[in-house]
A and B are shown apart, each in its own frame.
Chain A
Amino acid sequence: MNRIRASTALLYLAPALLLVGAFYLYPMAYTIPASLFRWDGITAMRWTGLHNFTTLFGRADFRAALANSAIWIGVGTLVHTPLGLAIALVLQRKPPGWSFFRTVYFLPNILSVASLALLWYFFLNPTIGPVDGVLRAIGLSSIALAWLSRTGSALVATLLPFALYIGFTMLIFLAQLTAIPREYYEAAQIDGASNARQDISITLPLVRRAVVVNVLFNASFCLKMIEYPLIMTSGGPANATTILPLFMYYQMTRAREYGLTMAAGLVTIVFGSAFMAIVFLLQKTANRRWG
């Protein structure tokens, strides 16, 4: 019986295993040897050993990409996730118009990222964009920056659209919140606990798995997304908004350094895996504390 179950399970799993193996695991494993060669995409590959890695870490644009990706993940974890939770907590109490706002918050997730990036590009454009136009009109010319053209503001400007995706984070939290038994809150209310106390002592510990899911989703988005810096700033000015996927894209399409691209990809995998490991470690610690 067990053998039949195992073979049946294998049969069901086979298509997925084949696809994952062929299109995910194999290419991922291929980056390891490929990162040790220099290749322009057409002529023969040349063995360079670890040269691509030493080149990578010696380059200011790669270090900037790594730092900017860490900032994106940091914002996703420390700003985006708490904001999504805050909105979910408010909407969970079903204030007037909650259904409308739930839809509005989620709407950007079904829109094309490229279209939104273009929209933000024109929104922040210093000559035709409304942001600087409004600031100038109300006498705040001094803060009407060319947001996308300054190293100090460009990264913040490309991060702003990230807020649009708060609806997805919110939805995951809402799903988790509805699974919390009402009895916990009723008991707390009998004991005289305020809304804030209920959120801190009941809700937060019980949505920690949703926190982990959201943090991982956000980190994954940050390590895959390319559209906003590509369309809004092309990674500039002076690499101020370059992130790891964009760095890899340019290495492949402009510099035609395929080996270097693979090396950067491998570093990205290690970087993402290290982040995941930290998140799971923190989750384990939290589980030990709250059960």
Chain B
Amino acid sequence: MNSRIKWLVFLVVFLMAVGFSAFAAGTQESAQGKPVTFTIYFHFTPQEARGVVLRDFVARYNEQHAGKVDIQLSYFADWQPMQQKIRTMVAASQPPDVFYFNYNPNDLTLFKSGQLMDFTPYMDAQWKGRFYQSDLDTMTYNGKLLAIPMEQGPVIFYFNTDLLQKAGVASIPRTWDEFFAMADKLKAIGVGAASLFTADDAWHATNLLSYFAGEAGGPKVFSGSLNTKAMVQAATLLQKLFQYGAADAVGGKWAVSVQDFVAGRTAVIADGPWLIGILDGQMQDPSKAVMKDFAIKGKDIFASKLSLSPDEQKQAGAKLATNIQLASTADLRMVQVTRVLKPSTMNQLPSLVEQLALNKMTPADFAAALEQANSQ
């Protein structure tokens, strides 16, 4: 698929940065005739497609460049501890050679550290052509390009069509009203509508929250205050959706939420494309999981405007994705809400989502608390 096709509805941006010390060490090794060694800090599990691809790619690269370059992989099973380690290393002026992190406009500490290499001299026209200029501009700090976008992807809705059929839902919903009608029918057969969890970054819940907010306030909904009418509406829908969630949603973690979907305890999960490989390996009948993407703003919010060809699906190693359909309009790009939250707000997010889910906080209070935390 052409990487320039603007099919990104919902951005999950991982950045790749190179530590300054790695560059210096690499130059030294090269001058001494030794193979240049790089270590990449990453978090892709061996089960997910991108993890398989990266490991394979690095192994082949090392084979082809034996004696000259040696790329080593340092795998972290958990994102958060990896980020903590990276920050500690940066603080100690010993940054990792290559590492991933999330861009957050409210947390530019890594950019300010002075420990990241400037990509500008190496960014020729061909390489530059692979990125959106707006993204490169965002990664540029004080005139230096300190990181490059490594991965952008949509948050996709996976539907278990088998469960939908059992609940008497004829087709995949096309509006939120239809979505909640589906939730009612699923509840009647003892199945949760959507996989949700509240621990850590409450990823699945905040994916839904972001979609709800995007539908109510448009793609720029998170660019200003978070205490908006759109956010209140979104929180109202999320609170309602928790009533249709699995019993372990409150307090649950990502793996629990995924397992709820895999085991058929919930019929829908909103996650990234990386889930394909995991579902493919774990679901009894992966062909029952259909991926759909929601467009934002517009009557037909579940409209599909772009489909992957069978060849593209094969390339993605996605046997289950028999019906990948993604929205394509460029101006639908928006950022997941957690990507604009300050670290201190992220710390309070699980508690806020839990209070909302348990009806201990009103949607209006939720939006106000989120904004208050993020403005401190």
Residues of A within 8 A of B (CB): 40-43, 61, 125-127, 146, 148-151, 154, 233-239, 250-257
Taken residue by residue from 252 to 278, chain B's Cβ proximity to chain A (1 for < 8 Å, 0 otherwise) reads as: 110010001000010000000000000
Q: How distant is A98 from chain B, measured CB to nearest CB, in Å? A: 40
B145 at the interface (CB under 8 A from A): no
Residue of A nearest to B357 (CB): A237
Contact A148 B351 (CB under 8 A): no
Contact of A41 with B91 in the complex, beta carbons under 8 Å: yes
Q: Are B346 and A237 in contact (CB under 8 A)?
A: no
Give B residues with C-beta under 8 Å from A. 80-81, 84, 87-88, 90-91, 107, 109-110, 112-113, 198-200, 246-253, 256, 260, 265, 343-344, 346-348, 350-351, 354-355, 357-358, 360
Closest to A250 in B: B347
Residues on A with C-beta less than 8 A from B107 are: 40, 256
Q: Do B84 and A127 touch across chains, with their CB atoms under 8 A apart?
A: no
Q: In whole angstroms, how far apart are the Cα atoms of A254 and B87 in the complex?
A: 12
Complex: how many Å from CA A151 to CA B246?
A: 17
Residue pairs across A and B with Cβ atoms less than 8 A apart, 19 shown, are A40-B343, A41-B88, A42-B91, A42-B113, A43-B109, A127-B247, A127-B248, A127-B265, A150-B250, A234-B251, A235-B351, A237-B357, A238-B354, A253-B81, A255-B346, A255-B348, A256-B109, A257-B343, A257-B347
Which chain B residues lie closer than 8 Å to A126 at the CB level? 247-248
B200 and A234 form a contact (CB under 8 A): yes
B112–A43 CB distance below 8 A: yes
Docked Cα-Cα span, A149 to B248, in Å, equals: 7
Once A41-B109, A234-B251 are accepted as A-B contacts, the answer to whether A254 and B347 lie under 8 Å apart by CB is yes
Q: A127-B247, A127-B260 are in contact. Are A251 and B265 (CB under 8 A)?
A: no
Tell me if A236 and B350 are in contact (CB < 8 A). Answer: yes
What separation, in Å, do the CA atoms of A66 and B141 have in the docked complex? 41
B4 to chain A, nearest CB (A): 34
Q: Is the CB of A238 within 8 A of B248?
A: no
Which residues on A sit within 8 Å (CB–CB) of B358? 150-151, 237-238
> With A42-B110, A127-B260 in contact, is A256–B343 under 8 Å at CB?
yes
B247 proximity list for chain A (CB < 8 A): 126-127, 146, 149
Smallest Cβ-Cβ distance to B355: which chain A residue: A238
Partner of A149, one of B91, B109, B113, B251: B251
Q: Is the CB of A237 within 8 A of B354?
A: yes
Q: How far is the CA of A252 from the CA of B80 in the complex (A)?
A: 11
Q: Which residues of B contact A238 (CB under 8 A)?
A: 351, 354-355, 358, 360
Q: Which of A127, A150, A235, A257 has the most CB of B within 10 A?
A: A127
Structural contact, B343 and A254, CB atoms closer than 8 A:
yes
- Chain B contacts of A257 at CB under 8 A? 343-344, 347
Closest-CB distance, B209 to chain A (whole angstroms): 17
Is B344 a contact of A256 with CB atoms below 8 Å?
yes
**Given known contacts A149-B247, A254-B343, is B354 in contact with A43 (CB within 8 Å)?**
no
Alpha-carbon distance A239/B80, docked complex (angstroms): 20
Residue pair B250, A236 in contact (C-beta under 8 Å): yes
B246 touches A127 (CB 8 A): yes
Whether A236 lies near B199 (C-beta < 8 A) is yes
Min C-beta distance of B342 to chain A, whole Å: 8
Q: Are A236 and B246 in contact (CB under 8 A)?
A: no
B351 and A61 contact, CB distance less than 8 A? yes
User: Which residues of chain B are near A250, meaning CB under 8 Å?
Assistant: 347
Please report the C-alpha to C-alpha distance between residue A235 and residue B348 in the assembled complex, in whole angstroms: 11
Assuming the contacts A127-B260, A236-B251, asked whether A41 and B351 have C-beta atoms less than 8 A apart, the reply is: no
B260, A154: Cβ atoms closer than 8 Å: no
